Amino acid sequence: MRISRSSPPRPEQCVLAESVPVSNRELVVLGTASQAPTRTRNHNGYFLRWDDEGVLFDPGEGTQRQMLLAGVTATQVNRICVSHFHGDHCLGLPGVVQRMSLDGVAHEVSVCFPADGDGVAIFRNLRYATLYHDRVTIRENPVTSGGVIAKTKAFRLAARKLDHPVPTVGYRLTEPDGRRMLRERLAAKGIEGPDVGRVQRDGRITTRTGETVRLQDVSAPRPGQKFAFVMDTRLCDAAFELALAVRNKAVSAYQQVMDLQF
């Protein structure tokens, strides 16, 4: 299932969305089952399309096939984020990584996961669970503490340790703040066509009448969108911090059992 601005989620999917204009962004839910899959629900798996970036969260068993059914290709995945190493959140890793090699994914793929509990060894055991021709470039990014763990032009990726019997982390993507162009102010200043791009790029422009117009004169602040991913945790400060940071901003994914574990 896809969760996007044009497709509001049903309550049972435990995914919250705000109707806010976005670029090419959607959450493709590949599975929501816990521990054991059912006839109608696959193990966990969530693909976040964020403009030109593709982030795969918690690929449980069967994720490779679910991606095929959902029209998500291995080449679209730039980053994999694992919350913890219980099987329903990571047993799909071997198949996904091997599919990347099979399809000849040319770009580097960063994989984030909890460092505690010998996380690097667990990840490598999953990555090399079977024999195959390993052709994909994987950059391991074990999460040792909270804070920003990656930066791109599109977002900052932060992680926080959660409260679960095994080492677990939650993730948050934050888009840089920007500005929203105001059509009526642009028209009042006689700015149109390519000149709109120039004032966005240069921060100011001199109109045909000789007036200097600044970007802030014809635009308004636009807070960057955010996405939070919180799984399998007891109630804790870090879970609330991740969740509240995205409230009324973007999309959040939570597992329903979070509210049942005390």
Residues 68-87 pLDDT 10s: 999 999 999 999 999 999 99
Whether the pLDDT of residue 23 is over 90: the answer is no
58 close to 87: Cβ distance less than 8 angstroms: no
For all residues of the chain together, what is the average pLDDT? 86
Pair (129, 69) in one structural domain: yes
pLDDT attached to residue 153: 87
Q: pTM of the full predicted structure?
A: 0.80
Q: Which of 52, 88, 118, 134 is catalytic?
A: 88
Q: How many CB atoms sit inside 10 A of residue 161's CB?
A: 18
**pLDDT tens digit sequence for 25-68:** 899 999 999 888 889 999 999 999 999 999 999 999 999 999 99
Phi, psi dihedral angles at 257 (to 5 degrees): -65, -15
Q: Is 27 exposed, middle or buried (0-12, 13-18, 19+ CB in 10 A)?
A: buried
Whole-angstrom Cα Rg for the chain: 21
Pair (74, 192) in one structural domain: no
pLDDT attached to residue 183: 93
Q: Which tokens is 197 given? A: 């791009």
Pair (99, 26) in one structural domain: yes
Pair (71, 194) in one structural domain: no
Q: What is the tally of structural domains in the chain?
A: 2
Pair (148, 205) in one structural domain: no
Phi, psi dihedral angles at 49 (to 5 degrees): -95, 115
Segments forming the whole domain that contains residue 200: 179-219
- Classify strands 2-3 and 25-31 as parallel, antiparallel or unpaired: antiparallel
Pair (167, 63) in one structural domain: yes
Pair (203, 244) in one structural domain: no
Nearest C-alpha neighbor of 96 from the set 82, 116, 86, 84:
82
Q: How far is CA 134 from the centre of its chain?
A: 26
CATH number at residue 38: 3.60.15.10
**pLDDT tens digit sequence for 176-221:** 988 999 999 999 999 999 999 999 999 999 998 999 999 999 999 9
Pair (106, 134) in one structural domain: yes
Whether the pLDDT of residue 138 is over 60: the answer is yes
Q: Which tokens is 74 given? A: 């291995």
Percent of the chain predicted with pLDDT > 70 = 84
Pair (74, 197) in one structural domain: no
DSSP state of 75: G
Pair (83, 139) in one structural domain: yes
Pair (48, 164) in one structural domain: yes
Pair (108, 229) in one structural domain: yes
Does residue 180 sit in helix, strand or coil? strand
pLDDT, mean of residues 150-169: 94
Q: Is 88 a catalytic residue?
A: yes
pLDDT attached to residue 1: 62
d(CA 258, CA 13): 14
62 close to 69: Cβ distance less than 8 angstroms: no
40, amino acid identity:
T
What are the angstrom distances between the C-alpha of 229 and each of 155, 218, 224, 237? 15, 35, 17, 15
